[in-house]
Amino acid sequence: MASCSRWWRAPIYFTISVVLAFIAISTALNSPSNNTTPPTRPISHHLSLNASIALRRSGFNIMATLLLISPEIFLLSPNTTIFAIKDSALTNASLPPWFLKHLLQYHTSPLIFSLDDLLKKPQGSCFPTLLSPKNVAVTKVGARERLVEINHVLVSHPDIFLEGNVAIHGVLGPFSSLSSQDFGRVWDSIQAPICDANSSLVLDVSETKNLVEWTRIVHLLSSNGFVSFAIGLNSVLDGILEDYRVLNAVTIFAPPELACVASPSPMLDKIVRLHILPQRITYSQLAFLPDKTMLRTLLPNQEVEITGDLNVTKGLAVNGVEIVAPEIFSSKEVIVHGISQALEVAELPTTSR
């Protein structure tokens, strides 16, 4: 009888465990030692509290708690649209906390959309998420029924919260399958749609913002002895900005010397992009990944492999190249690891623009 009377505590215990996991992730990502710049914008406690209350009233208890405790996971841009995942979808999946963080960012867009805005979007069009450069697609629009599906998932609770520059909608399930067993491959685990290049929902440049301070990065690389890589990055920067209009964070593996920096070229563009990841990963987070984890780079169709162990003398390596100077620079959006030599680029077609 006593055991039966405590059945209702299970969801609460699960929520607490999720919250604690995210607090740990948030602390690791945003500790004073890892940040030298202020947040992108102040996070209003009043705003996150109101949003959390609205989510809880609609039955999205886990998302409500996470938004209240760790709003910085979601509120990284001037405008935000959150697609809240049902509690049942999260409780039925066994996910590593770091993967869950990426999943939630895949359900958050740096643009703001009310239901009326979504109903105006052409079917098949895409818009960006915080898990740049992965997008989500509007796969069904029923203006008469006022129904919208994103990645074939119904927006079941539209306009749960509309206040300021934040919009929140509830969805029936996650936008990506949670059945993958290879969570070490973050970018492969979260399956994003292939967006129509001719889609009329092309990113509005006036609505997007590249949060990475590239000019500052070039100067920092140069002043820390990575002169040739800084020159190379500066030479191909226009192409990176064109291809990645919404880029919230990067990890750079900086080599001491870089060939082909005399003038911009397709090969230089490939080499530089191979050394940059579209996410911020600390040295300890790299060490926590399973051995031989593959991580996506800014070079299309090419990943880098993380190997090694913090408990051995050699330490961690990227494509077999040792990380010799971890975290020589770290901010909220950028982290730079020094490596012993430049990474080699496989034979791939020239990057298209």
- Which one is predicted more confidently, 67 or 1? 67
- Do residue 183 and residue 247 come from a single domain? no
- Do residue 168 and residue 224 come from a single domain? no
Inform me whether the pLDDT recorded for 51 exceeds 80. Answer: yes
97: three-class secondary structure by DSSP: helix
344 within a domain of the structure (yes/no): no
Mean pLDDT is highest, among 2-6, 27-31, 262-266, for: 262-266
- Which one is predicted more confidently, 47 or 55? 55
- How high is the pLDDT of residue 263? 59
- Do residue 161 and residue 255 come from a single domain? no
- Do residue 185 and residue 48 come from a single domain? yes
- Which one is predicted more confidently, 197 or 243? 243
- Do residue 231 and residue 163 come from a single domain? no
294 within a domain of the structure (yes/no): yes
Asked if 33 and 55 count as a contact pair (C-beta separation under 8 A), the reply is: no
Inform me whether the pLDDT recorded for 24 exceeds 70. Answer: no
Q: What is the torsion angle, in degrees rounded to the nearest 10, for the CA atoms of residue 94, residue 99, residue 105 and residue 106?
A: -80
**Span 189-202, mean pLDDT?**
50
Residue among 263, 246, 254 at smallest CA distance from 220: 254
**Span 138-150, mean pLDDT?**
89
234 within a domain of the structure (yes/no): yes
Which of 189, 223, 244 terminates a domain? The answer is 189
Inform me whether the pLDDT recorded for 66 exceeds 80. Answer: yes
- How high is the pLDDT of residue 18? 52
Sheet of 126-128, strands arranged across: 126-128, 135-142, 147-150, 153-154
Inform me whether the pLDDT recorded for 198 exceeds 90. Answer: no
**Span 104-122, mean pLDDT?**
91
206 within a domain of the structure (yes/no): no
34 within a domain of the structure (yes/no): no
62 within a domain of the structure (yes/no): yes
10: three-class secondary structure by DSSP: helix
11 within a domain of the structure (yes/no): no
Inform me whether the pLDDT recorded for 70 exceeds 90. Answer: no
- Do residue 100 and residue 218 come from a single domain? no
Whose tokens are 């030298």? That residue is 36
317 within a domain of the structure (yes/no): yes
Inform me whether the pLDDT recorded for 30 exceeds 80. Answer: no
CATH of the domain at 333: 2.30.180.10
* pLDDT digits 0-9 by tens, 163-175: 988 999 999 888 8
- How high is the pLDDT of residue 192? 60
pLDDT grade, residue 195 (50/70/90)? low
The amino acid occupying position 116 is D
- Do residue 160 and residue 229 come from a single domain? no
pLDDT grade, residue 26 (50/70/90)? very low
Asked if 53 and 100 count as a contact pair (C-beta separation under 8 A), the reply is: no
Which domain range does residue 79 map to?
Answer: 44-189
d(CA 118, CA 107): 15
- Do residue 50 and residue 176 come from a single domain? yes
d(CA 170, CA 61): 11
Pairing mode of beta strands 334-339, 250-254: parallel
d(CA 148, CA 170): 11
* pLDDT digits 0-9 by tens, 303-323: 999 998 655 556 899 999 999
- Do residue 167 and residue 218 come from a single domain? no
Inform me whether the pLDDT recorded for 25 exceeds 80. Answer: no
Q: Which residues contact 163 (CB under 8 A, 6 or more apart)?
A: 47, 50, 51
Q: Residue 268 burial (CB < 10 Å; 0-12/13-18/19+)?
A: buried
Residue 119 φ/ψ, nearest 5 degrees: -65, -20
Instruction: Calculate the average pLDDT of the chain.
Output: 76
pLDDT exceeding 70 applies to what percent of the chain?
71
- Do residue 180 and residue 49 come from a single domain? yes
Inform me whether the pLDDT recorded for 28 exceeds 60. Answer: no
- Which one is predicted more confidently, 207 or 247? 247
- Which one is predicted more confidently, 126 or 100? 126
Residue among 155, 184, 135 at smallest CA distance from 288: 184
Apex 304 CA angle, 278 and 287, nearest 5 = 85
The amino acid occupying position 210 is N
- Do residue 172 and residue 267 come from a single domain? no
Q: How many domains does the chain have?
A: 2
Which of 156, 173, 189 terminates a domain? The answer is 189
**Span 59-64, mean pLDDT?**
89
Residue 328 φ/ψ, nearest 5 degrees: -70, -20
- How high is the pLDDT of residue 331? 84
- Do residue 325 and residue 218 come from a single domain? yes
